[in-house]
Structure 1
């Protein structure tokens, strides 16, 4: 009798546990990470531009993203590249991150994983590497549909910021029969927009996207803004606590003639001030002229037609 009972229950004992639900169905902030992004900001004191492509893999149990710099070494290799996996530990209710990059080949051998207990739309990963930790905090800004990453090296009570970057969606994910050259203009627009979004680099980052002879004119005004006075206005606005909290854009046309490009688009923006209250959306039609130099496309002229 005992033998029969053992034979019946033993197969049940070796069945694998039920698989947890896919992370992609859990309704976390990571739902807004899948897609193509342009990363701008500072890493180790240097201004950077990276591309980040993220997607759900392995039946939706993991989010994988590929982070690669546009800057290249003399050898032609990218200055930085990483492949990152994020999963979910159901027992401890926290995210787990495996970060593999070109800085070394020990990513699978050293046992270092990042762990983060989410707090709303903030995912504060901590990578414990022994004598110090690397704190990599992801923050999703829903209104602007952007991500902000801050990396801090922590050793005891001493903390040193290593990186602060913003990720804005790359326009190549927008449907349409756009050429590779036209998509470069989309990327330039995205970098310009990221400067004034939450977590953006502000006036200096904005200025880096303008040519030295930049000018801006609003139809109906008798004022032409040059680069210096326009950037100074952005700086004051940004330092006072204002941000573009929501931005919608419809690109109507991009024409490229050699090193000059012309774009026409309609933009709707809402702003959040120091009090945290969003403003009503403002709409305008923009006609822009872009110039290409050794570092990419920069905005040279913009004519603004406010739309009531």
Structure 2
């Protein structure tokens, strides 16, 4: 069994991005500028946005954080999005999800200029991705594909089972892995809460991508020897022994599944760092106008 070290991979990519940015600046071009809108004080979102700010510093980007209380009206949020859309100095921006229930996530996502949608959630980017056109790819799926590629994990013709059908991970990673490129060319099965005989699917899989948000869901009896396991889960589980009072738990029973695998991502330190790294890659693409003019 080998660990897929997302943290080390992400650091290498950020170093590559930083070198490119310094070259851009030396040529007289402006530094890439990423903005983020954060609504409320969700602990996970706060941590994630803070890590994005640090990643911007590491990559040599400018960053802006715009905060709203969770009582903000949807119209106020849409106005802030319109201002960022119109700000020529901002190359890309994100609205951190989830949002409070009184705000429509879909209205917010569709209000973002797709040319600045570095999260890759706008319908234009989703549609372009689905037919293989250049676009901003959603960060977590792009990070997963990057991990597979950089670790030389063969995907052509592989049986891949995706557990979960969310718009953020499950659906887009399935789309990416079935396309004709490397990594890709997989035979993809998407499983979810209505799937019958789930274990029959997972036991055939050469690659399992677990994106359910259910700690320890994937057990050893669901995995064939030599499979590659990508664990996307990051659920906070209470742990009084930790200073924070919690620990992060993946969707895979790591202790019992890892000995069976050829490769596996840890939690934390696997997919998570790559998600932020993919956001940095999209922002660089936006700043260089490599996707849209």
TM-score between the two structures when normalised by the length of structure 1: 0.28
Compare CA radii of gyration and give the structure with the larger one: 1
More strand per residue: 1 or 2?
A: 1
More helix per residue: 1 or 2?
A: 2
With a CA cutoff of 8 Å and minimum separation of 6, indicate the structure with the bigger relative contact order: 2
